[in-house]
Copies of this chain bind each other. A is one copy, B any other.
Amino acid sequence: MILPMAQTIRPLRADAERNRRLLIDAAAEAFAQHGLDVSVGEIARRAGVGRGTLFRRFPTKEHLIAAIFVDRVSDMTDTARLLMEEEEAGDALGRFMRAMIEMQVKDRGLFEAVGHSALTDPDVLRAHDELLATLGKMVRSAQRAGEVRDDVGPIDILMLTKGVAAAAEPMQCVVPRSWERYLDLVTDGLRPAAATKLCGRPPSRAQFEKALRDAS
């Protein structure tokens, strides 16, 4: 294990760390309720701090959004680890994809907004590295069990969950769990029996990290 030349060397003062938490939680709740266009003033008020404090902790509104995103990715890493212990090879991956999609469908907009900006900060990268490590094992294990085609990697799986969530979103208010339909279809496409040669190769972790960095 090589530590990244981290910049979070000095921990925050106790009150600052507390405010950070309050802001992230208040923002997560507000965004979940009303979408991403709640004002930072409203968020600061809900968290019980001044507007300036928000911008001292997060250089921009998008960095605050990214912080919530990191929390969610970490949650998914926990879920993935749990599933690896408790489930059979094929079941684990299927369940992970369900959990991932449900999360993305729940917080409308949050994940769309993150694609475009401020993913440069290293917390985002580290959270994804951890998730991908576990997910990589999960995918390989499902492949060894013959339940998933060999030519896909963990990043493909991540992208596909995003795709299923996006596909289902327009109809979601009318057909609440329509994402299950599209997950079923993608799962059919993931089976070795269905496999036809895919364009390209599974994205590498290096490519993924570059993609995160390039999001201007």
A191 CA to B197 CA, complexed, in Å = 14
Contact B199 A181 (CB under 8 A): yes
- A108, A162, A174 — most chain B CB neighbours (10 Å): A174
Contact A207 B175 (CB under 8 A): yes
Contact A214 B174 (CB under 8 A): yes
Contact B163 A159 (CB under 8 A): no
Residues of B with C-beta under 8 A to A168: 159, 163
Contact A210 B178 (CB under 8 A): no
Residues of B with C-beta under 8 A to A152: 185
As a 0/1 sequence over residues 162 to 190 of chain A, the CB contacts with chain B under 8 angstroms (1 = contact) are: 11111111111111011011111111111
Partner of A177, one of B35, B155, B182, B199: B199
Contact B112 A171 (CB under 8 A): no
Contact B169 A115 (CB under 8 A): yes
Q: With an 8 A cutoff between CB atoms, is A194 at the interface?
A: yes
Residues of B with C-beta under 8 A to A214: 173-174
Nearest-neighbour CB distance to chain B for A167, whole angstroms, equals: 3
Partner of A159, one of B35, B171, B195: B171
Contact A199 B174 (CB under 8 A): no
In the complex, what residue of chain B is closest to A190 when comparing beta carbons? Answer: B185
Nearest-neighbour CB distance to chain B for A107, whole angstroms, equals: 14
Residues of B with C-beta under 8 A to A145: none
Nearest-neighbour CB distance to chain B for A213, whole angstroms, equals: 9
Instruction: Using A35-B116, A173-B215, A181-B199 as known contacts, list a sample of 5 further A-B pairs with CB atoms less than 8 Å apart, ordered by residue number in A.
Output: A171-B203, A178-B203, A184-B196, A184-B198, A193-B194
